[in-house]
């Protein structure tokens, strides 16, 4: 019998140590270090031969998804901004699983770069079957007056405009059975007052995904979302006040932040044939925080 594990105590609970990173943050400075499934995730061939592009694939949820996809048999293109060390670590883990890893630094705010990412996947992986739109930018603010026009533009260009550009560029290469998995957030349903711009983009992602699922249904291309609650990634200490980092996740029923490793199996489900009757759906992974 497999040992039962209490989900409240499976991973560290707040308070977390006082820490602050510069944006976009790196894994090595996380205290405690995050779990991406490096030692725990075991694949079973669910994605054998698939070709996946993951934005924000260097760290956090993206790294966990890259590890899981590779152990399920997929080759992976890792899109990231400039976190070279983190990206190289993720690529190493993909290659240790016996799969091909392609590193693709650059800013997905730029439409031309989004087009290039799709072409790079086609050229270097031999195609694209799975697109995971996961990269995101956020900053916490107490006042609307603290959000500059430049920051608002950056948030929307990173979180939602890039998704539009990548999906549009990918469409001609996707075949029936291909899948899109977008990362929305609990903030699409219960917006955090300090994350006004970010929460607005996550609501837009939710709507975009539900709409695109209908548009592409006749093509046999599925589009789904994952809505994480508080998850322990470099985004947190690099974009939130130290006092919020210290207590991060304590308000959900499981009383802790989630770990990227706890999200990866959901992305595998949505990318695989096991979810063949799911499109336009959102899987909520919120630590018990209700969304209605």
Summarised one tens digit per residue, pLDDT across range 13-59 is 999 988 999 989 999 999 999 999 999 999 999 999 999 999 999 99
The confidence band for 248, taking pLDDT boundaries of 50, 70 and 90, is very high
In the chain, % of residues over pLDDT 90: 95
pLDDT exceeds cutoff 90 at 119: yes
State the pLDDT confidence band at 111, using cuts at 50, 70 and 90.
very high
- Report whether pLDDT(2) > 90: no
HEC string of the chain?
Answer: CCCCCCCCCCCCCCCCCCCCCCCCCCHHHCCCCCCCCCCCCCCCCCCCCCEEEEECCCCHHHHHHHHHHHHCCCEEEEEECCCHHHHHHHHHHHHHCCCCEEEEECCCCCHHHHHHHHHHHHHHHCCCCEEEECCCCCCCCCCHHHCCHHHHHHHHHHHHHHHHHHHHHHHHHCCCCCEEEEECCHHHCCCCCCCHHHHHHHHHHHHHHHHHHHHCHHHCCEEEEEEECCECCCHHHHHCCHHHHHCCCCCCCCCCCECHHHCHHHHHHHHCHHHCCCCCCEEEECCCCCCC
Q: Which residue has the higher pLDDT, 2 or 177?
A: 177
**Position 214 pLDDT exceeds 80:** yes
pLDDT band at 290 (very low <50, low <70, confident <90, very high): confident
Q: Residue 168 corresponds to which tokens in the numbers above? A: 């549009």
Q: What is the pLDDT of residue 292?
A: 73
Before 32, cis peptide (omega within 30)?
yes
Per-residue pLDDT, averaged over 129-133, amounts to 98
> Given this model, what pLDDT does residue 285 score?
97
The pLDDT score that the predictor gives to residue 49 is 98
Of the ranges 23-27, 124-128, 233-237, which is most confident? 124-128
pLDDT category at 139 given cuts 50, 70, 90 is very high
The pLDDT value given to residue 30: 93
What band does 291 get if pLDDT is binned at 50, 70 and 90?
A: confident
Catalytic annotation, residues = 198
What are the pLDDT digits (tens) for 160-213? 999 999 999 999 999 999 999 999 999 999 999 999 999 999 999 999 999 999
Mean pLDDT, rounded, of the chain: 97
| pTM above threshold 0.85 | yes
**45-285 CATH pick, 3.50.50.60, 3.40.50.720, 3.40.50.970, 1.10.10.10:** 3.40.50.720
């Amino acid at each position: 019998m497999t040992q039962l594990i209490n989900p409240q105590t499976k991973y560290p609970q707040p308070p977390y140590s006082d820490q602050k990173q510069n944006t976009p943050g790196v894994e090595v400075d996380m205290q405690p270090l995050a779990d991406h499934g490096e030692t725990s995730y075991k694949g079973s061939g669910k994605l054998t031969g698939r070709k996946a592009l993951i934005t924000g694939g260097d760290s956090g949820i993206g790294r966990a998804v890259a590890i899981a996809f590779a152990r399920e048999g997929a080759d992976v293109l890792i899109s990231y901004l400039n976190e070279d060390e983190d990206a190289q670590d993720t690529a190493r883990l993909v290659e240790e699983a016996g799969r091909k890893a392609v590193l693709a630094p650059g800013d997905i705010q730029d439409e031309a770069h989004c087009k290039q990412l799709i072409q790079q996947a086609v050229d270097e992986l031999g195609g694209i079957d799975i697109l995971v739109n996961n990269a995101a930018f956020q900053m916490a603010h107490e006042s609307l007056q603290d959000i500059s026009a430049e920051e608002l533009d950056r948030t929307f260009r990173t979180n939602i405009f890039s998704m539009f550009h990548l999906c549009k560029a990918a469409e001609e290469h996707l075949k029936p059975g291909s899948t899109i998995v977008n990362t929305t957030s609990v903030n699409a349903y219960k917006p955090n007052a300090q994350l006004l711009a970010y929460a607005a983009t996550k609501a837009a992602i939710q709507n975009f995904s539900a709409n695109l699922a209908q548009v592409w249904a006749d093509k046999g291309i599925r589009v789904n979302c994952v809505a994480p609650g508080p998850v322990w990634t470099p985004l947190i200490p690099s974009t939130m006040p130290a006092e919020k980092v210290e207590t991060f996740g304590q308000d959900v029923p499981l009383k802790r932040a989630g770990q990227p490793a706890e999200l990866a199996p959901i992305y595998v489900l949505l990318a695989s044939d096991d979810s063949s009757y799911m499109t336009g759906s959102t899987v909520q992974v919120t630590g018990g925080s209700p969304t209605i």
